[in-house]
Amino acid sequence: MYAKPLDPQVPQLIRGLNILSILEIFMTVVVGQDTAKTRRTLTVGSKSIAYYSIPAAQAAGLGDFSRLPAALKVVLENMLRFEDGKTVSVDDIKAFAEWGAKGGKNPREIAYRPARVLMQDFTGVPAVVDLAAMRDGIVALGGDPEKINPLNPVDLVIDHSVMIDEFGTPRAFQMNVDREYERNMERYTFLKWGQSAFNNFRVVPPGTGICHQVNLEYLSQTVWTDQDQNGQEVAYPDTLVGTDSHTTMVNGAAVLGWGVGGIEAEAAMLGQPISMLIPEVVGFELTGAMMEGTTGTDLVLKVVEMLRARGVVGKFVEFYGTGLDNLPLADRATIANMAPEYGATCGFFPIDDETIRYLHATGRDEDRVALVEAYAKENGFWRDETYAPIYTDTLHLDMGTIVPAISGPKRPQDFVALTEGQNAFRREMEETFKRPMGKKIAVAGEEYTMESGKVVIASITSCTNTSNPYVMIGAGLVARKAAALGMDSKPWVKTSLAPGSQVVSAYLEAADLQKDLDAVGFNLVGYGCTTCIGNSGPLQPEISAAISEGDLVATAVLSGNRNFEGRISPDVRANYLASPPLVVAYALAGTLDINLATDVIGQDRDGNDVYLKDIWPTTQEVAEMVEATVTREAFLSKYADVFKGDEKWQAVDVTNQKTYDWPAASTYVQNPPYFQGITMETHKITDLEDAKVMAILGDMITTDHISPAGSFKDTTPAGKYLTERQVSPREFNSYGSRRGNHEVMMRGTFANIRIKNEMLDGVEGGYTLGPDGSQMAIFDAAMAYQEQGTPLVIFGGEQYGAGSSRDWAAKGTALLGVKAVIAESFERIHRSNLVGMGVIPFELTGGDTRKSLGLKGDETVSIHGLEGVKPLQEVPAEITMSDGSVKSITLKCRIDTEVEIDYIENGGVLHYVLRNLAKAA
């Protein structure tokens, strides 16, 4: 009989034991009679392995699960494996059968435990800071610091720190790496300390790749295995959560994963189950096949447009249909990667023949590949021609209708067919940017002029597309054909190539395409997120000055997943997402003010006009080169020493202390205030009285708006803080790199250069009205209100918190003294993060909006009915206007589950976990 784990509120860690053993040694409940019948043994080759059988659960009378989507079966298996009669009950399992019977809806609260956690360094540093601070906190509560250890395996990949300072030269890679270490040594020392101090915690060093691509190509297994307390091996679906929203990428390989805030990820590491509602699952049927001249990027941009229009926030999306037979896993991963852009929790692809082919091709152990196929077929996860699940809702797309496209200028869902690109850009100039196209500014010492529409950044970047050899080989072939004609990128374009893994360089070199990319300016600049995360680096000073002087709308084209305002570069207003081959083409053309499909993009060495069709490779050319150069051996070679790092990483020296010796002078890593002075006492939720309005924000305010990741100036509150500590502007680095220092991040909250507070007329940037009625930085106003003891609220529009899993968007909000965020609707991750930091989200009801309420920002807000509030309860609120009149409205409290009530009462999820760990001492 398989023993079940102890209540996850009281986990303890013993060195050297794996996750199943750790959980089961402290078990108090054995599996019930019903679920005991679900344990089975699977024989693969000469090896036997235990697993939890969904068909057996059905045979045991727990319900009909036969037509559940594969994505939901993964969650069901999790319930079977962790059923203990308490945190997971038999009724939770039966609820999945009811989901199918009710047509794909049954929003029951469940406790879900992913197998592992993935991090990157921007979000990982604050997570490790929190763990280190929790060790100090548990010591203060009389506990053992070694209780603060990940129970689940954690991998952190350093990928967000390399910045493109040098480009377009053979020395670019080494110079950028050297500069990366100069800027980030404090952070790297801290992360390497964490690797030695915490169990179950590994770090993939800088210069290796992007976390999601490393996860897809190496870390993920599709079916995970571990040993139980009896030493028997158990197989179960590979699942994870990650501190980056694009953790969803690995769903392309049938690994269920999604992004959560660092706060929620830390709780998951420490054994706290993720509280969630059984999701709705939207089926997206793909039929047909891609046409000549189109790419997986074109497909995903259309999928993003369709799903964002349908509305899938908080839902799973599962792709099915005969079109999957024509869709390589690399294209599937591209579609799965952009789940945050279409708003879904994940975009899942079931296991099928293509999954098995990919696992073999990327170097997975052959026994593991065989297990994945056998397990999927035995347990009902396999997609074949008979696969026909029940879905909550469905969409359909014939892939034969896809055309080459880009998306922009500031939202991923703004799909623009290439043939309409010029017209769409001109409309944006008139309607959105309100700028003429014709203004020109000469660049000193150069033979060209700058004008609106010029492409100043063209970047092959991001795991979204650099994980896909078809589009990367395609980009190389475009470069080869262009170089052969004597073409080059325009001189005002900052070009860059930043692959998501070293395997990409291996096959580009094997295909002899890197020299062609070099020839048109796309030299290797580093292995990391670079432009996609805002690390595009500075433009040439003359170009930057010309853009500023002429108030021009400069543009960027990148093969990434995000193009939000203010994200890519402070000099660039219009950002467009495109496939890598199109990125090269736009660099050659040098402007968005062109119909790339039909217009001349340049001249060859003899002065003859060149069109896109002249340099575009055929589908067959690309496929043949992929087949010849993307090999299993390349993956095995490049990932052989993935945790070793280069000489620079190996030279990073750390101590072996169990608690961190916080360096007082560090401007990168500081002990955060969350747990200082913590006691065992909790506080019931109480009404909010006479709160002031800090900001009134519009629709689709992203986590980039709330907590930007890019560079900042010395005139900002964060810049002034660093300047006062003798840090020169050249050494500021970025907000993202300083997420381990709450003092910098508080000052950067709501500080995006493009954010617009509707309390102020036409003002861009992080400003508001202070207590005296004057305009000031939001940070300065918040501190002034804190001195008065005045609580704050934020008003927002639809899709508040769209974008990434950035936990600092919630942490900064909390530290500024904001007690409630009132919006028309919330994106999933940010809502959860707010709750995790003790900030209550509320939704407007009854058709009320920030505009219909006539808000100006000089009102006070009181929210009642919070004592004893229940999840999703509606509560009354009063808005007192400046003339003394009162508007009574009803708000929906977006504390969604019972356990989230506990989080708020504890001041946040980490306080909740910490107190429970201390109680278990």
User: What's the pLDDT tens digit per position in 349-388?
Assistant: 999 999 999 999 999 999 999 999 999 999 999 999 999 9
203-to-121, 135, 199, 582, 735 alpha-carbon distances in Å: 9, 20, 12, 34, 21
Mean pLDDT of 477-496: 97
How would you classify residue 196: left for phi > 0, otherwise alpha for psi between -120 and 50, otherwise beta?
A: alpha
Given strand 455-460, what is the order of strands in its sheet? 415-417, 405-407, 572-577, 554-558, 455-460, 494-497
Last residue of a domain, one of 46, 79, 110: 110
Please determine, for residue 907, whether its predicted confidence score (pLDDT) is greater than 50: yes
The pLDDT tens digits for 232-267 are 899 999 999 998 889 999 999 999 999 987 788 888
Stated pTM of the model:
0.84
C-alpha–C-alpha distance, residues 417 and 145, integer Å: 56
207's tokens: 């210069």
Same domain, 743 and 875: yes
Q: Are 862 and 878 in contact (CB under 8 A)?
A: yes
Confidence of residue 36 (pLDDT cuts 50, 70, 90): low
C-alpha–C-alpha distance, residues 399 and 295, integer Å: 10
Inside any domain, residue 893: yes
Please determine, for residue 12, whether its predicted confidence score (pLDDT) is greater than 60: no
Average pLDDT over the chain reads: 91
Same domain, 424 and 558: yes
Same domain, 600 and 728: no
Inside any domain, residue 781: yes
Confidence of residue 30 (pLDDT cuts 50, 70, 90): very low
Most confident of 36-45, 61-70, 145-154, 220-229: 61-70
If one counts the domains in the chain, the total is 3
pLDDT at 7: 33
pLDDT at 921: 61
Residue where the block lists tokens 């492409």: 455
Q: Are 246 and 680 in contact (CB under 8 A)?
A: no
DSSP 454: B
Handedness of CA 335, 341, 343, 345 (dihedral sign): positive
Q: Are 502 and 206 in contact (CB under 8 A)?
A: no
Same domain, 757 and 901: yes
Same domain, 590 and 488: yes
DSSP 857: S
Pure H helices in 311-393: 329-337, 339-342, 353-361, 366-379
Handedness of CA 538, 541, 543, 547 (dihedral sign): positive
Query: Higher model confidence: residue 209 or residue 567?
Result: 209
Burial (CB count <10 Å: 0-12, 13-18, 19+), residue 212: buried
C-alpha–C-alpha distance, residues 342 and 652, integer Å: 40
Mean pLDDT of 824-831: 90
Instruction: Name the nearest CA neighbour of 283 among 325, 321, 339.
Output: 321
Q: Are 258 and 345 in contact (CB under 8 A)?
A: yes
pLDDT at 28: 29
Taking the mean position of all CA atoms in its chain, how far away is CA 810? 15
Same domain, 426 and 552: yes
Instruction: Name the nearest CA neighbour of 461 among 525, 381, 516.
Output: 525
pLDDT at 443: 83
Query: Higher model confidence: residue 78 or residue 30?
Result: 78
Please determine, for residue 805, whether its predicted confidence score (pLDDT) is greater than 80: no
Q: 688-696 and 767-769 as β-strands: parallel, antiparallel, unpaired?
A: unpaired
pLDDT at 10: 31
Amino acid at 181: Y
Please determine, for residue 623, whether its predicted confidence score (pLDDT) is greater than 70: yes
Host H or E run for residue 191 = helix 172-197
- Angle at Cα 33 formed by Cα 28 and Cα 39, nearest 5°? 90
Helix (H, G, I), strand (E, B) or coil at 759: coil
Residue where the block lists tokens 């250890």: 149
Inside any domain, residue 723: yes
Inside any domain, residue 530: yes
Same domain, 594 and 495: yes
pLDDT at 5: 33
Please determine, for residue 611, whether its predicted confidence score (pLDDT) is greater than 80: yes
pLDDT at 612: 97
56's tokens: 């057996």
43-to-38, 55, 225, 375, 467 alpha-carbon distances in Å: 16, 17, 14, 9, 34
Inside any domain, residue 491: yes
Q: 346-348 and 201-204 as β-strands: parallel, antiparallel, unpaired?
A: unpaired
233-to-42, 219, 228, 336, 864 alpha-carbon distances in Å: 11, 19, 6, 30, 53
Confidence of residue 21 (pLDDT cuts 50, 70, 90): very low
Please determine, for residue 105, whether its predicted confidence score (pLDDT) is greater than 50: yes
Question: What CATH number is associated with residue 515?
Answer: 3.30.499.10
The contacts of residue 687 (CB under 8 Å, 6+ apart) are: 862, 863, 864, 865, 866, 867
Please determine, for residue 22, whether its predicted confidence score (pLDDT) is greater than 50: no
Please determine, for residue 459, whether its predicted confidence score (pLDDT) is greater than 80: yes
Last residue of a domain, one of 56, 76, 110: 110
Host H or E run for residue 99 = helix 90-101
Inside any domain, residue 854: yes
Same domain, 525 and 610: yes
Which residues constitute the domain of residue 60? 19-110
Confidence of residue 281 (pLDDT cuts 50, 70, 90): very high
Inside any domain, residue 804: yes
Same domain, 717 and 602: no
Host H or E run for residue 742 = helix 742-748
pLDDT at 35: 56
Same domain, 906 and 776: yes
Residue where the block lists tokens 């670079």: 530
The pLDDT tens digits for 217-236 are 999 999 999 988 788 899 99
Last residue of a domain, one of 76, 110, 144: 110
Backbone angles phi, psi at 175, to 5 degrees: -65, -40
Please determine, for residue 795, whether its predicted confidence score (pLDDT) is greater than 80: yes
Same domain, 580 and 721: no
C-alpha–C-alpha distance, residues 402 and 327, integer Å: 13
Host H or E run for residue 767 = strand 767-769
Q: Are 76 and 52 in contact (CB under 8 A)?
A: no
Mean pLDDT of 327-355: 97
The contacts of residue 372 (CB under 8 Å, 6+ apart) are: 221, 222, 223, 351, 355, 356, 359
Q: Are 744 and 750 in contact (CB under 8 A)?
A: no
Same domain, 478 and 557: yes
Query: What is the full DSSP assignment across 554-615?
Result: EEEEESSS---TTTS-TTEEEEEE--HHHHHHHHHH-BSSS-TTTSEEEE-TTS-EEEHHHH
- What share of the chain has pLDDT > 90, as a percent? 75
The pLDDT tens digits for 434-446 are 877 777 888 877 7
Q: Are 672 and 133 in contact (CB under 8 A)?
A: yes
Q: Are 240 and 207 in contact (CB under 8 A)?
A: no
Mean pLDDT of 119-148: 88
Inside any domain, residue 555: yes
End-to-end CA distance of the chain: 29
Report the 10 Å Cβ neighbour count for 64. Answer: 12
Least confident of 21-25, 441-445, 565-569, 875-879: 21-25
